[in-house]
């Protein structure tokens, strides 16, 4: 490991066009799971000026009948959920308005060829919804066991959104991006080198006293989010560096589901298998296996067994058991990777059905409408509360220690 380096991560707000698409797709997943815990959803969303388009494959009781036709009122429910999601985000602009936008639904029944590989039948366990590789990661840089650059980037934008909605910052509009650059020494962040925040604003806040007000507000938020001692007179700020930012969201740039996979995960501090999460029910291992590897990695770090931990698993479509399990503790481990891999296999077999899609879904309680809240500000580093973010729990610490013993 390098003893000193500079690293950067970015985040985008819930009003960013790609994030609007992610949130709509996950709202559809939640709708289907609320009707049928065994529903199948693969929903892609396109957003642009006054337009939302859905496409993909679905299956679920209460929405699609046994002949593959829409149930009465199902499409109306979908449209209502889409408009409500856009309204909650805060878009009531001439170029993108929850009430006035054009909505198109091109979702259709799931392919029978895919279903036969994924569904359980007879002695065949439920198979993975696709082939692929998935990674989980944790590190001790923050209380959330997340890379500090990404954790702070998320929290800056969350604060902006909270203040916008409460009226504390009425000059803000929904679209925003942040970027945090930190200097590291011996694996720990020691200084903030640069802060970038671009936020959509109401007319007039790009010059004069109003621009100064906006910039002072952003600097205050940054100072409240970053731990004491990281910011200094040497920290470089770029707040709305292009100047005027009044046209934003899907009106300023088209959005698509799944285009912010690094923002959704570890900000570039860990590998990524390439599969997006939003719009996919938990039989899709792109989602569920990425969650369970984060769960395992976080518990390894929480147990004090490593300062950093990366875990990879792989699957084949229609096959239930993972093809591989790989652990890397980046030279910070207190046990060998081989010993930890064996311990995690044992814990997974006891608690998560040997990392099969069904075992993960049941073990983590993923067959529930819990995904809308995950679709902005990162899927990881969040607080496990009730049924939400179960992969952020640290309840495997003692199991892992016992398996190693």
Binding site for ATP, residues? 16, 175-177, 244-245, 253, 259-260, 276, 280
One-letter-per-residue 3-state SS of 156-198? HHHHHHHHHHHCCCCCEEEEEEEEEEEEEECCEEEEEEEEEEE
Beta strands 96-97 and 92-93: pairing type? antiparallel
CB 130 within 8 A of CB 319: no
Measured distance CA(107)–CA(294) in Å, rounded: 31
Determine whether 80 is an active site residue.
no
Measured distance CA(349)–CA(365) in Å, rounded: 16
Exactly one of 253, 337, 341, 350 is catalytic; which is it?
A: 253
Determine whether 177 is an active site residue.
yes
CB 241 within 8 A of CB 196: yes
Determine whether 87 is an active site residue.
no
The pair of three-digit structure tokens given for residue 227, joined into one six-digit string? 């731990």
Determine whether 259 is an active site residue.
yes
Determine whether 280 is an active site residue.
yes
| CB contact set of 241 (below 8 Å; sequence gap of 6+) | 196, 198
Determine whether 341 is an active site residue.
no
The pair of three-digit structure tokens given for residue 50, joined into one six-digit string? 């006054």
Residues annotated within a binding site for Mg(2+): 18
Exactly one of 18, 126, 151, 251 is catalytic; which is it?
A: 18
Determine whether 103 is an active site residue.
no
Determine whether 281 is an active site residue.
no
Residues annotated within a binding site for K(+): 44
Per-residue CA distances from 76 to 9, 84, 205, 241, 369 (Å): 39, 12, 39, 42, 19
Determine whether 188 is an active site residue.
no
Determine whether 286 is an active site residue.
yes
Residues annotated within a binding site: 16, 18, 44, 57, 110, 175-177, 244-245, 253, 259-260, 276, 280, 284
Exactly one of 83, 284, 287, 298 is catalytic; which is it?
A: 284
Q: What is the DSSP annotation of 183-245? A: EEETTEEEEEEEEEEEEEE-TTTTSHHHHHHHHHHHHHHHHHHSPTTS--TT-EEEESTTS--
Determine whether 254 is an active site residue.
yes
Exactly one of 35, 36, 55, 57 is catalytic; which is it?
A: 57
Exactly one of 259, 287, 294, 358 is catalytic; which is it?
A: 259
Exactly one of 26, 286, 328, 392 is catalytic; which is it?
A: 286
CB 50 within 8 A of CB 101: yes
Determine whether 57 is an active site residue.
yes
Measured distance CA(130)–CA(120) in Å, rounded: 15
Would you please indicate which residues are annotated as catalytic (active-site) residues? 16, 18-19, 44, 57, 177, 245, 253-254, 259-260, 280, 284, 286
């Amino acid at each position: 490991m390098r003893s000193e380096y500079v690293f950067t991560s970015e985040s985008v707000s819930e009003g960013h066009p790609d994030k609007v698409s992610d949130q709509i797709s996950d709202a559809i997943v939640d709708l289907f799971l609320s009707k049928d815990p065994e529903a199948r959803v693969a929903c892609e969303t396109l957003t642009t000026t006054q337009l939302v388009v859905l496409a993909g494959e679905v299956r679920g009781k209460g929405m699609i009948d046994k002949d593959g036709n829409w149930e009465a009122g199902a499409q109306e429910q979908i449209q209502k959920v889409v408009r409500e999601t856009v309204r909650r985000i805060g878009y009531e602009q001439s170029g993108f308005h929850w009430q006035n936008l054009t909505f198109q639904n091109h979702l259709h029944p799931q392919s029978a060829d895919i279903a036969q590989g994924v569904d359980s039948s007879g002695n065949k366990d439920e198979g993975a919804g696709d082939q692929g590789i998935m990674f989980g990661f944790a590190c001790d840089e923050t209380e959330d066991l997340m890379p500090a650059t990404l954790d702070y980037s998320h929290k800056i934008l969350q604060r902006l959104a909270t203040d916008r909605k409460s009226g504390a910052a009425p000059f803000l509009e929904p679209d925003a991006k942040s970027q945090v650059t930190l200097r590291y020494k011996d694996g720990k962040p020691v200084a903030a080198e640069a802060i970038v925040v671009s936020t959509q604003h109401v007319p007039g806040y790009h010059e004069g006293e109003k621009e100064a007000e906006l910039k002072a507000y952003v600097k205050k938020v940054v100072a409240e989010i970053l731990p004491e001692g990281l910011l200094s007179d040497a920290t470089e700020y770029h707040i709305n560096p292009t100047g005027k930012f009044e046209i934003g969201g899907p009106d300023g740039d088209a959005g698509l589901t799944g285009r912010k996979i690094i923002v959704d995960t570890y900000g570039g501090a860990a590998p990524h298998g390439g599969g997006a999460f939003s719009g996919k029910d938990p039989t899709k291992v792109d989602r569920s296996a990425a969650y369970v590897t984060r769960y395992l990695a976080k518990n390894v770090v929480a147990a004090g067994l490593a300062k950093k931990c990366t875990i990879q698993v792989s699957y084949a479509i229609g096959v239930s058991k993972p093809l591989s399990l790989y652990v890397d503790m980046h030279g910070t481990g207190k046990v060998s990777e081989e010993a930890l891999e064996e311990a995690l296999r044992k814990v997974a077999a006891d608690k998560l059905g040997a990392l099969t899609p069904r075992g993960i879904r049941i073990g983590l309680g993923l067959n529930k409408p819990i995904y809308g809240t995950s679709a902005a500000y990162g899927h990881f580093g969040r607080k496990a509360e009730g049924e939400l973010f179960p992969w952020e729990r640290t309840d495997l610490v003692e199991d892992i220690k016992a398996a190693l013993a």
